[in-house]
Structure 1
Amino acid sequence: MLFEFDKIAPEISYKLLTSTITPRPIAWVSTLGANGVVNAAPYSFFNAMGHTPPTVAIGLVRDAARGWKDTARNILETAEFVVNLVPEELAQAMNKTSAALGPEVSELELAGLETAPSGHIKPPRIAAAPVSFECVMLSSVITGPMQTIVIGRVVAAHIDDAVVLDAARGYIDTPALGLIGRMHGAGWYARSTDLFQLKRPENPEA
């Protein structure tokens, strides 16, 4: 069946994208507001976009009634944010931080999560996260009246010592991270445990 996106409602477009582009990694973003409150929220319109320089991108959606959510407003105002990755054991805490709260409320406190200082930027990282990327915004691209894409340069990474196999070579025990991803519909997630490997062909014509 053909879906022409300029002829269907935005909510249908959203459902088609999120139910087919799966699994999606989760950026559990921590930011610091002008009021000094640390905000945290999960975003699954997210991925790495390059390594020279190390770059990530996050899609931020504007709420029709409230405007920019706290995370988006903080990033656009301060140009700093931390992308924390989500293991299965933190799924419940992550889910709590997705609640729609005012800017005066810290989702991290609500979820009972501790923070740890970042080394290069003001927003703290989530201490329990096995991976945290300190990011500085390179640019933001307005893609529509209700959304923008933030492109960030990763300036530092905090990775749990337990999963670092060889720091000099950048070898990480990825399966040991136990990260989860977003799937279709409300509340559906995937575990990263069912893996298979394919060897890339040496001959481009193979």
Structure 2
Amino acid sequence: MRIDFTQLAALDAYRWLASTVTPRPIAWVSSRSAAGVSNLAPFSFFQVISDEPPTLLVNVNHHPDGSLKDTLRNAQETGELVIQLVSFEHAEAMNASSAILEHGVSEFEHCGIASVASERVAVPRVSGAAVTFECKVSQIQPFPQHNPNCNLIFAQVLLAHIDDAVLNEKGRVDPHKLDIVGRLGGMSYTRTRDTFEMIRPT
């Protein structure tokens, strides 16, 4: 099969990309508005892009009508985010938090997701998350430059919380204990427990 992306409608391009560039980690992003309303939403166009400074990148699409999602609004207003990785035990809660709610409605409250206070930012974090990154917003870049349909949020990591239960005897993360959920195409997800190792050539 040969697919000419220059001839595809946006939705078709998304479907092909989302079903082939897999598995994708999920950024479960909590944020807080200037008015103090907390928000929680998952994004699978997400990756680590730098270790100096330690920086994560989250792509936040606009709503179909062109309006901005609460995550982006909050990041613009406060300059802070908390990014959780999604363990299998939190998969259902993560999925529930993806519902489109009215502006100003907290997913934490609507979905009954427990939160705890962060240390470096005013944004709450998901209680019990295995891995959490408290971040400050370094940059928000509309994309594409002309007629943008999304925004790229560059989030610098200030502090991480890693559950001791997912560490091995050497104090390193054990992927089998971590059990992170990854996004595939359509409604499909995967888990990080099926792993193998290879030694890089010198």
TM-score normalized by the length of structure 1: 0.91
User: What is the percentage of aligned positions where both structures have the same residue?
Assistant: 41
- Displacement of 1:152 in angstroms is 0.9
- Displacement of 1:66 in angstroms is 5.7
- Displacement of 1:47 in angstroms is 0.8
- Equivalent pair of 1:37/1:103 in contact (CA under 8 Å): no
Corresponding residue of 1:47: 47
Corresponding residue of 1:171: 172
1:158 is aligned, of 161, 164, 172, to: 161
User: How many residues are matched?
Assistant: 199
Rounded to whole Å, the distance in 2 between the matches of 1:40 and 1:66 is 20
| Superposed CA offset, 1:105-152 (max 9, x none) | 111112221111111111011012111100111112221221111111
Segments of 5+ residues of structure 2 without an aligned counterpart are none
Question: Could you say what secondary structure the match of 1:22 adopts?
Answer: coil
Segment drifting more, 118-127 vs 136-145: 136-145
The letter of the residue matching 1:184 is: G
Rounded to whole Å, the distance in 1 between the matches of 2:61 and 2:165 is 35
CA RMSD of aligned residues (A): 1.5
- Equivalent pair of 1:30/1:41 in contact (CA under 8 Å): yes
Segments of 5+ residues of structure 1 without an aligned counterpart are none
- Displacement of 1:195 in angstroms is 0.8
- Equivalent pair of 1:49/1:57 in contact (CA under 8 Å): yes
Moved over 6 A (4+): none
- Equivalent pair of 1:113/1:128 in contact (CA under 8 Å): no
Corresponding residue of 2:76: 76
Rounded to whole Å, the distance in 2 between the matches of 1:197 and 1:161 is 23
1:28-39, aligned counterparts within 5 Å?
Answer: 28-39=28-39
TM-score normalized by the length of structure 2: 0.93
1:149 aligns with 2:155: no
Rounded to whole Å, the distance in 2 between the matches of 1:7 and 1:94 is 34
The letter of the residue matching 1:25 is: P
The letter of the residue matching 1:157 is: A
Corresponding residue of 2:114: 114
The letter of the residue matching 1:154 is: V
- Equivalent pair of 2:180/2:191 in contact (CA under 8 Å): yes
